[in-house]
């Protein structure tokens, strides 16, 4: 039984590392269910920069019920939609991208424009995400499974190693 679970997890890890790549610039992605728990990895070329999960409170029954009722998007779709926006408020991924990638590209004139409210840092973060980043995702039966997989990837379960922005310490 343990071997079957390990093989299943290995297949999921493979999808998150070598599966189909989607580009943030092509959002929205019709392949992502509007209501689902799951895990996603974010890449800059071949570098794993982030792993995230969505649908923490969802279980399989909730997903089926919400889908049958035509509930509003929740889980993977809404989490990735937030990342695509580039808005840093309430989105740790966008904060990381801004701090680690966008800030180092800014020239003094841009910093002054941001400080004066003439240039939007969120817009620059969004542009960076759209131009440079891609993602892979898997749907999971529930948030508990998604959390377990995300945690193991943060600890280095993929051959790509730990994610650059949110590795487990």
Domain locations along the chain: 2-154
Q: Residue 97 has what pLDDT?
A: 98
CA-wise closest residue to 149 among 165, 163, 164: 163
Residue 46, Cα to own-chain centre: how many angstroms?
16
Alpha-carbon distance 164 to 169, whole Å?
12
DSSP assignment of 42-86: EEETTEEEEEEEE-TT--HHHHHHHHHTTPPPEEHHHHHHHHHH-
Q: Residue 85 has what pLDDT?
A: 97
Residue 25, Cα to own-chain centre: how many angstroms?
14
In what helix (H) or strand (E) does residue 39 lie, and over which residues does it extend? Answer: strand 35-44
Q: Residue 96 has what pLDDT?
A: 98
pLDDT tens across the length of the chain (169 residues): 556 666 778 899 999 999 999 999 999 999 999 999 999 999 999 999 999 999 999 989 989 988 899 879 999 999 999 999 999 999 999 999 999 999 999 999 999 999 999 999 999 999 999 999 999 999 999 999 999 999 999 999 999 999 999 999 8
């Amino acid at each position: 039984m343990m071997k079957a679970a390990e093989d299943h997890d290995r297949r999921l890890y493979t999808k998150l590392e070598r599966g189909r790549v989607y580009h943030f610039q092509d959002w929205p992605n019709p392949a992502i269910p509007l209501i689902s728990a799951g895990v996603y990895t974010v890449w800059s070329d071949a570098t794993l920069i982030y792993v995230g999960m969505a649908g923490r409170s969802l279980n399989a029954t909730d997903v089926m019920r919400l889908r049958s009722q035509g509930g509003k998007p929740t889980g993977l779709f809404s989490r990735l939609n937030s990342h695509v926006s580039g808005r840093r408020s309430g989105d740790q991924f966008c904060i990381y991208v801004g701090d680690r990638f966008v800030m180092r590209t800014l020239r003094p004139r841009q910093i002054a424009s941001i400080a004066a409210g003439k240039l939007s840092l969120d817009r620059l973060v969004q542009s960076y995400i759209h131009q440079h980043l891609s993602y892979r995702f898997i749907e999971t039966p529930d948030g508990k499974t998604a959390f377990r997989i995300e945690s193991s990837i943060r600890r280095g379960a993929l051959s790509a190693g730990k994610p650059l922005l949110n590795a487990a310490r």
